[in-house]
């Protein structure tokens, strides 16, 4: 039974990697179109960063077994809010040419003083408590984080399509992170001391992904001569 479960896990991982590397989920425009758009975005006197709000959550299949969503419970109990905002703050502070970029709450996006075709930074993310498969235990979890950041038209965000790959991005970066090296901890350990381990894991993900994404953004900007 364990060998069969391991086979299924490896099969679906390989299938995911195949989809990923064939580029089917990319939002990027062709390179010749991206360059002038990214330069135009960076030349703007003021830029905006928007995000899709996503709180910490357990996997959906946990609910199918009638178990409580520990991620949702912890998010409320420890007032974790939207973890992506802390990541965005780190990303912007790491890039000198983005220091005047303003993070905008989703509810305020329609009031921005720019046309719909203007480009904005957009971040989407998932913050999951993932249960252990082998041996299976719903109470042993690890923290996994996935982030997508891109520069896309404001109108795409306003239409609720910011998370969809529509080949409109002047830049796109992705990050996947497993806190504490992917180690599993009991839900009680995650919650102990007012969620200290959970907060630390979230901060580790924010630090890692903001550094990775900001480095990739700077490299792309330099490749189109937008940065010195």
pLDDT at 228: 58
Tens-place pLDDT, residues 25-39: 678 888 888 889 999
Residue at token pair 């913050």: 127
Alpha carbon distance 34, 150 (integer Å): 12
Work out the percent of the chain whose per-residue pLDDT is above 70.
87
Q: Are strands 119-132 and 171-178 parallel, antiparallel or unpaired?
A: unpaired
pLDDT at site 32:
80
153: alpha, beta or left? (left if phi > 0; alpha if psi -120 to 50): beta
Q: Tell me, what DSSP letter sits at residue 25?
A: T
Residue 24, both tokens: 């089917």
3 state SS of 119: strand
CB under 8 Å to 227, separation ≥6 — which residues?
42, 97, 218, 221
pLDDT of residue 60: 85
Residues 200-209: tens digit of each pLDDT: 999 999 999 9
The neighbouring-strand residues paired with 125 are 147
What pLDDT sits at residue 25? 63
Q: Residues of the chain with pLDDT > 90: what percent?
A: 73
Mean pLDDT, the chain, integer: 88
Cβ partners under 8 Å of residue 107, min gap 6: none
Quickly name the fold that domain 27-223 has. Double Stranded RNA Binding Domain (3.30.160)
- In which band, very low, low, confident or very high, does the pLDDT at 227 lie, cut at 50, 70 and 90? low
User: Given this model, what pLDDT does residue 15 score?
Assistant: 40
Q: Quick one: pLDDT at residue 167?
A: 92
With a CB cutoff of 8 Å and minimum separation 6, the contacts of 225 are: 39
pTM given for the model: 0.86
For residue 51, what is the enclosing H or E element? strand 47-51
């Amino acid at each position: 039974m364990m060998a069969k479960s391991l086979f299924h896990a490896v099969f679906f991982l390989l299938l995911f990697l195949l989809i990923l590397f064939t580029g089917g989920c990319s939002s990027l425009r062709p390179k010749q179109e991206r360059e002038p758009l990214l330069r135009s975005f960076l030349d703007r006197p003021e830029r905006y960063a928007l995000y899709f709000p996503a709180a910490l959550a357990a996997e959906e299949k946990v609910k199918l077994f009638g178990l409580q969503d520990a991620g949702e419970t912890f998010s409320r109990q420890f007032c974790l809010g939207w973890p992506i905002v802390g990541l965005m703050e780190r990303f912007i502070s790491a890039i000198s040419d983005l220091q005047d970029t303003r993070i905008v709450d989703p509810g305020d996006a329609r009031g921005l003083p720019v046309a719909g075709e203007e480009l904005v930074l957009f971040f989407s993310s998932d913050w999951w408590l993932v249960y252990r498969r082998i041996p299976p235990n719903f109470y042993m979890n690890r923290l996994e984080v996935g982030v997508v950041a891109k520069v896309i038209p404001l109108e795409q965000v306003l239409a609720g399509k910011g998370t969809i790959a529509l080949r409109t991005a002047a830049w796109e970066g992705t990050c996947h992170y497993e806190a504490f090296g992917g180690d599993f901890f009991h839900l009680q350990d995650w919650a102990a001391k007012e969620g200290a381990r959970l907060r630390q894991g979230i901060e580790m993900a924010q630090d890692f992904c903001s550094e990775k994404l900001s480095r990739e953004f700077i490299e792309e900007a330099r490749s189109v001569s937008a940065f010195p």
